[in-house]
Chains A and B, each alone.
Chain A
Amino acid sequence: APELPKLAKKATYKVGFAQTESNNGWRIAETNSMQDEAKKLGYQLVYTDAASSAAKQVADVNSMIAQGVDAIFLAPREEKPLIPAIMNAKKAGITVILLDRNVDQKLALAGRDYLAFIGSDFIEEGRRSAEWLAKATDGKAKILELEGTTGASAASDRKAGFDAAIAKFPGMAIVASQTAEFTRDKGRQVAETMLQAHPDATAIYAHNDDMAIGALAAVKSAGKVPGKDIVIVSVDGAKEIVELVVKGEVGATCECNPRFGPKAFATLQAYADGQSIPPLIINADRFYDASNARELLPTAF
């Protein structure tokens, strides 16, 4: 196989950032972080938004290649469909760094076909949430699960990690699991209906903060006390939810930090400097619960 493309050392670079979508706070925070960092370094950033379409994202990357960028940061929408884009970039001699989601390692290998993946481990996030919940409920809970958008890897991985970990506790059961499409409004509506059909539920696991906040509203309007009758745990750890953890309304949240800018650009520079880059760079995400939320709140994103 041909070598990984080299990156010449220059004072400034023209780099591309191919974002997946901009319809939620997490993505917006990620974009802002990338743009801020590029501005700080004085790099020219070509920013595209694939509007939730993997196919468009490939086209976006191709248009960056056509424009002759030096490097591409890609937040791949999907594991497999982005492969052709990565291969095109490699063929054109352009360095690619993946952010926040990885691609299928059987089809394109980090360190061989693209420089590196920087991000979190979604399965791990699910597992950590599950283990916290087991501890908080002494291994006894009837859980309502609010899934992310059907078909999204963040949703399926967070579910897989959580479900696998729960399976180890005989006292814990997922009594209902439905998609609420990562959104607050749907999170509320779905949770309302679930709580009605399962009045005995004691916990809610939401695949992201927004759904958890929606579910919180549903819990309150069902006349239950969050934190007492129902324990809520979520993934993402934005400031808004950490505040709720501090208030005791949400039990815990597993961080999934979107502020990729500094690390992403630093990695690029290190590569240009000739340093060797590890193919998988996993973020050290924090886990907020009552024990540390107040203290860490100022540093939450």
Chain B
Amino acid sequence: MTDRALVPRPRRLSAGLALRRNGAVLALAVLLAFNAAVTPYFLSPGTLNINLTQVAPIGIVAVAMTLVIATGGIDLSVGSLMAIAGALAPIVYAAALARFGSAGLGVALSIALPVLAAIALGWLNGAVITRYRIQPIVATLVLYIAGRGIAQVMTNGNVQSFAQPAFGFLGLGRILGVPFQALLMVAAVAAGAFALKRSLVGRQILAIGGNERAARLSGVPVVRVKRLVYALSGLASGVAGLITVAINSSSDANLVGSGMELDAIAAVAVGGTLLAGGRATVVGTLVGALIIQLVRTTLIANGVPDAAALVVKAALILGAVWIQRQGRS
């Protein structure tokens, strides 16, 4: 009787493993190389600037989304919160100007109040989720549906012109030649990455995402941490909404932030964060956001029609996430 040997499996080459572990970075490098070779005028400061300004809102929202996803949640309402914050800014400015007569105070309030409103709504998401134990996807779906409606009701659907120069700095300003919003994004990424790695709340976020019951029994304030991440998501959405308004010098409640939830979630996933929670990387998310932005630029700059662009995007998301997974298993 001959026993059949269980086939031994060859060990993977460690170089290949390393490459795959950084799959998202690899994908980004490939995209950059491709563009450098193919896209006209790609390697120019102008292009860099444009990409940085365009990626900033996605990046900022995606960082917060990473934290939300790390707790095992998800936030579909980010785009709607952007719209609400964006709709509020010109309204607040006009009201403040009429009441106090000071443009400076008007700008300060038109930044502070909308962001506060977005934080409050984000916190509300968290409250609904923790108070009634409703699935995050459903709880935030509520504001996804209703939030834009609220913004539209506030403005009656009209586009509000808002060309206040000081406010416009959010979207149009430069510091040492770098777009201000890009700096905001970098700050958000740095803060997010540091918090997740080194701060108490960061570890608690991961513990909740990994095993909520165990976390609670270990003294993690589950409810508080969850509300915090959704409030942070609100904060990020609020800021991103204001940036979008600033750069367009106008606020359109119908469109500000539309589709942002999908872009942000895709950035998080492409970056290598586990959608089920418990494992997350903020820097990966930044890479993911850059990939998504670069894909967009590549397709537009090379004149790929919209329909085909969608198919390419789909393949890229699947590919990037798949490469990521290879690194882990």
Contacts of B42 in A (CB 8 A): 197
Q: Decide yes or no: A185 and B255 within 8 Å by CB, A23-B157, A150-B306 being known contacts.
A: yes
Given A193-B301, A197-B39, A214-B248; A184-B50 close (CB under 8 Å): no
- Residues of the A chain whose Cβ atoms lie less than 8 Å from the Cβ of B152: 22
Given contacts A23-B157, A185-B244, contact A190 B300 (CB under 8 A): yes
Expressed in whole angstroms, the Cα–Cα distance for A263 and B50 within the complex equals 45
Q: Judge if B159 is at the interface, Cβ distance under 8 Å.
A: yes
A88 within 8 A of B: no
| Binary A-proximity of B41-52 (CB < 8 A = 1, otherwise 0) | 110101100100
Interface presence of B16 (CB below 8 A): no
Q: Contact at B252–A221, with CB atoms within 8 Å?
A: no
Judge if A70 is at the interface, Cβ distance under 8 Å. Answer: no
| Contact between A150 and B307, CB atoms less than 8 A apart | yes
Query: Is the interface on chain A under 10, 10 to 19, 20 to 34, or 35 or more residues?
Result: 20 to 34
Are the CB atoms of B46 and A196 closer together than 8 Å? yes
B68 in contact (CB, < 8 A): no
Complex Cα distance, B296 from A190, in Å, reads: 9
Chain A binding surface SS class: helix
Chain A hits for B306, CB < 8 A: 147, 150, 178-179
Whether B326 is near chain A, meaning CB under 8 Å from some CB there, is no
Check: A280 CB closer than 8 A to any chain B CB.
no
State how many angstroms separate the Cβ of B316 from the closest Cβ of chain A: 17
| Complex: A170 Cα to B302 Cα, angstroms | 23
Q: Which of A22, A185, A190 contacts B256 (CB 8 A)?
A: A185
Q: How far is the CA of A23 from the CA of B156 in the complex (A)?
A: 10
Instruction: Count B interface residues, CB 8 Å.
Output: 34
The complex places the Cα of A197 from the Cα of B152 at a distance, in Å, of 35
A177 within 8 A of partner (CB): yes
Contact status A184-B300, CB under 8 Å: no
Q: Is the interface of B mostly helix, strand, loop or mixed?
A: mixed
**Are the C-beta atoms of B255 and A194 separated by less than 8 Å?**
no
What is the distance, in angstroms, from A150's C-beta to the closest C-beta of chain B? 5
A298, chain B: closest CB distance, angstroms? 19
Q: Are A196 and B247 in contact (CB under 8 A)?
A: no
Name the one of A185, A196, A240 contacting B50, with C-beta atoms under 8 angstroms: A196
Report if A87 contacts B (CB, 8 A): no
Q: Are B40 and A198 in contact (CB under 8 A)?
A: yes
Which A residues, 11 to 29, have Cβ-Cβ distances below 8 Å to chain B?
22-25, 28
Cα A24 to Cα B307 in complex, Å, equals 23
Residue of chain A at shortest CB distance from B156: A28
A190 to B307 Cα, complex, angstroms: 15
A209 to chain B minimum Cβ distance, whole angstroms, is: 10
Does the CB pair A193–B50 fall under 8 Å?
A: yes
Closest-by-CB residue of B relative to A27 is B157
Q: Which among A25, A176, A177, A189 has the greatest number of chain B C-beta atoms within 10 A?
A: A189
Chain B nearest Cβ from A230, distance in angstroms: 15
Sample of 20 more A-B contacts, CB < 8 Å, known A28-B156, A147-B306, A196-B41: A23-B157, A23-B255, A25-B158, A25-B159, A150-B306, A178-B303, A185-B244, A185-B252, A188-B248, A192-B54, A193-B50, A193-B300, A194-B301, A196-B44, A197-B39, A197-B40, A197-B301, A217-B247, A217-B248, A240-B161
Q: Can you name 19 A-B residue pairings with CB atoms under 8 Å?
A: A22-B152, A23-B255, A147-B306, A150-B306, A150-B307, A178-B306, A184-B250, A189-B54, A190-B300, A192-B50, A192-B54, A193-B50, A196-B44, A196-B47, A196-B50, A196-B301, A197-B39, A197-B41, A197-B301
